[in-house]
A and B are shown apart, each in its own frame.
Chain A
Amino acid sequence: MTDDPKYPRPGGDPKRDPATLESYVDKEDRSQFAMGARIPTESVVGIEEGAQQSARTASLWTDAWRQLRRRPIFVISTVLIIIMVIMAMFPILFTRIDPRACSLSESLLPPSSEHWFGTDIQGCDYYARTIYGARVSITIGLLVTIFATLIALIGGSAAGYYGGWTDTIIARMTDIMFVIPFILGGIVILSLFPTRGVAQVSLVLIILGWATMLRLVRSSVIAAKSADYVDAARSMGGTNWRIITKHVLPNSLAPVIVYATITIGAVISAEAALSFLGVGLQLPAISWGLMIAGAQARILTSPYLLLFPGAFLSVTVFSFILMGDALRDALDPKLR
């Protein structure tokens, strides 16, 4: 030990972050190779950029956010989702027409300046109904995903963290859920309800939807559980509750967020499918699924009845799936 303890020498100058140095060297090198000669101004810019970047502290989330902002797919899907959410919350911003004010004399009018999307068989304004339909879809999508994720987080972390009997019981329960075909299960359970509103449809979709998510949470909890920092936390006197909530879950959240985002889209289309099959929402509820079901018989004479709700549904589902994809790219460093 030749070192004087009063003057510790850490790995390099403490004021200069290694990341700064690296990006500095890297940038300069690249400009040299690219231009064939060193261009002073560019390397100076390089230094400043590098310094600024490392000055900000970067966690996984800030890092991911910085990456996401630059991805057009993420920006487009976010804008579309925000529009859909506003549509669901304040449909009045998009149309002044009451979707339930219908007159049979205006039945099945094609799109015009008065009725942008035409009218349906009851003579209701189809544009207003399409706008109002967003509410049901978004509500069910969020409700189901939130509850399914909660169940998955609780059950999955219990199964993954404690293992043994807890795991066996929970894992067998998910196995049972996987056996039930989705549409068949939906039809059977929903036909038990005499009236079916948002609550009933959501409940059934939660019942059918939590298992996959739970599997995902379980496997990422198992991966996070074996990390050294969990041992370290335990050796510092961390209780199981603290270890799960502070160390295991935050580190296994990334794939869950990705999957949950995609699930919102999947749930919205599942609701439409069930409503289309006549076991989902019931009239007079306004939903894209019901509208598509109503369009079925008139597809050749009035194709716009299918086109508009179908397009809105597809765009919404597509946006959530795209957003999930973008999140996956940003949160999983292995895919970068």
Chain B
Amino acid sequence: MALDPKIRINLDRSRVLLIDDNPQALEALHAMFRGFGVRKQFKCGSGAEAMHVVKTQELDLIVIDSSMPDMDGYDFVRWLRRDAPDISKFTPVIMLTGHAARSMVEKSRDSGANFVVSKPFTPEILLQRVFWVAKDERQMVVAQGYVGPDRRFKNMGPPLGVKGRRRDDLSTHVGAATAPNLDQSDIDMLMKPAKVQL
């Protein structure tokens, strides 16, 4: 679904952290966000540098390349979601990916990024994802094996026969009635509440 070109978007005050080990790619990203109207940008060439920025700055969005030496994008987001200062822990993240090597597929799924943008992409696509992030209403899941936005975009409840892990998940099992059926007058009372004299 393309972003409506007439929709207004204001990123003047947003503080964006861009992370890519390739200086040319980093400059290109910087140029794109400048075009989007972002004034405050932090550019980092490594995960370690970015960790320092996260610890010392308030950020509104992080855009990171998945493939980097030493600490790749997935490891960085894992660190962010688990070990970063509380104020930054749930900062939205857009992950940029090139080729996903087989060994990385699971890592990518469990990284905890809000959205993944695969290359090649246009500035329009990137802006659309920024907009999606801003409108992202998914809750953050904090579990032993995963910390990040709920990977289910639509809550359809737990699969049939599986006990739900959410507190508000309802059981799929319909048990035997525990009370007698309501008679018609009880039902009428529910549908047409009568005025009560106090």
Mutual binders A and B: no
B residues near A (Cβ < 8 Å) are none
Interface residues of chain A, those whose CB is within 8 Å of chain B, are: none
